[in-house]
Amino acid sequence: MERRVVLWGAAGALLGAAGCTGGSSRPTRQGTGSGIPPASASRTGSPGPAALPRTTPWRPTSAEIDPEVKTRAVQLVEAIGAWPAGKGGTAAARTRVAALRLPTGLVDQAGPLLPSADAAALQVVDAQYGGILTDSSSVLVVCRQWTLHGDRVVAGGTTVDVRLVRTGSGWTVTALHPARPGAAVASPPAAVRRVLMNSRIVLPPAAEADLLSGRVHHSVLNAMLRLAGGYRMDVSVVRSGHPLNVFGTDRPSDHPRGRAFDVWRIDGRAVVDPATPRALIERFMRDAAAAGSYNVGGPVQLSGGATAGQFFSDNTHHDHVHIGFLG
């Protein structure tokens, strides 16, 4: 079972400057169970010289709607967010991006993905669709990042909304929108503390920072806790790092308003994996509706529902379950 250590004493000192990178300003959580290198590999103050953890490239499976679009988005994030000693900074990042035959100006949009550090390691947790149409797409690249500062390793990470368009030669990236959760509140609500302490709710860095910012609606927190009673769930996106509008429309998304969250893995089974029992996903979606969601989307089109359109399915939600709330 995943283990977490959350330090709430002296909350002002721990939480006052939280952002989407820099693990020292947030409670410490270890062992996410998401294919991430063990926390001991990057623990500050360990005996011997500090070392970044070993990471593995993230690659999509053949079960994806369009594996190429995710590959392109992830390659760019991995190229910008990880570098060996002596290869930090904007100029070196531009060289890495140019090697992918992508516009080097994208580096100027990297924000927290390109912090000042001697070296960095990056592990993509998941890449999910923020939207996919015939010729355009949004891929939300969820990642953890470790940066080396002298003899100190700092754990952090972010989520990047990568925008792409299809050209005659394939998908190319047009813009990057990294998550910007905002500063943490001095005293998080009790429901936030309960979510962070719950070992059955796995949150990536940007989603955790969203909760600590105090800008996530209580309906989301309550639903997470209720669903955790029956499932272990890996959350991909809560508020920040998601498109402001439902992709391809002018309708505001519930995510930026703090009224939705997405789950990419249930009980250790990826939603996109064809081997994941459909019955598990269907049960999870119905339980999400029972937890108060008016808008549950996933890879399965369910019948019924308390209201018309409570359940939906499309290509964008082929790889995750969306759980939205009115308030």
Per-residue confidence (pLDDT) for residue 305, from 0 to 100: 72
Percent of the chain with pLDDT over 70: 85
Per-residue confidence (pLDDT) for residue 279, from 0 to 100: 97
- Picking from 18-27, 221-230, 244-253, which range would have the lowest pLDDT averaged per residue? 18-27
Per-residue confidence (pLDDT) for residue 304, from 0 to 100: 82
Percent of the chain with pLDDT over 90: 80
Rounded to whole angstroms, the Cα distance separating 253 from 267 reads 27
258's tokens: 């703090």
- What is the distance between the terminal CA atoms of the chain, rounded to a whole angstrom? 33
- pLDDT class of 49 with cuts at 50, 70, 90: low
Residue 44 CB-density burial (10 A; 0-12 exposed, 13-18 middle, 19+ buried): middle
Query: Tens of pLDDT along 268-286?
Result: 999 999 999 999 999 999 9
Per-residue confidence (pLDDT) for residue 46, from 0 to 100: 45
The better pLDDT of the pair 32, 169 is held by: 169
Helix (H, G, I), strand (E, B) or coil at 152: strand
Query: Tens of pLDDT along 198-220?
Result: 999 999 999 999 999 999 999 99
Rounded to whole angstroms, the Cα distance separating 137 from 319 reads 14
| H helices present in 58-200, as ranges | 67-81, 90-99, 190-197
Query: Tens of pLDDT along 82-104?
Result: 999 999 999 999 999 999 999 99
- pLDDT class of 48 with cuts at 50, 70, 90: low
pLDDT surpasses 90 at 35:
no
pLDDT surpasses 90 at 301:
yes
| H helices present in the chain, as ranges | 11-15, 67-81, 90-99, 190-197, 205-212, 218-228, 278-290
The torsion defined by the Cα of 91, 96, 99 and 100, in degrees rounded to 10, comes to -120
Helix (H, G, I), strand (E, B) or coil at 63: coil
Rounded to whole angstroms, the Cα distance separating 219 from 230 reads 18
- The total of other beta-carbon atoms located within 10 Å of residue 267's CB is 14
Going from the N-terminus, what domains does the chain have, and what CATH number goes with each? 11-178 (3.10.450), 190-324 (3.30.1380)
- pLDDT class of 327 with cuts at 50, 70, 90: confident
Is-contact 206 159, C-beta < 8 A?
yes
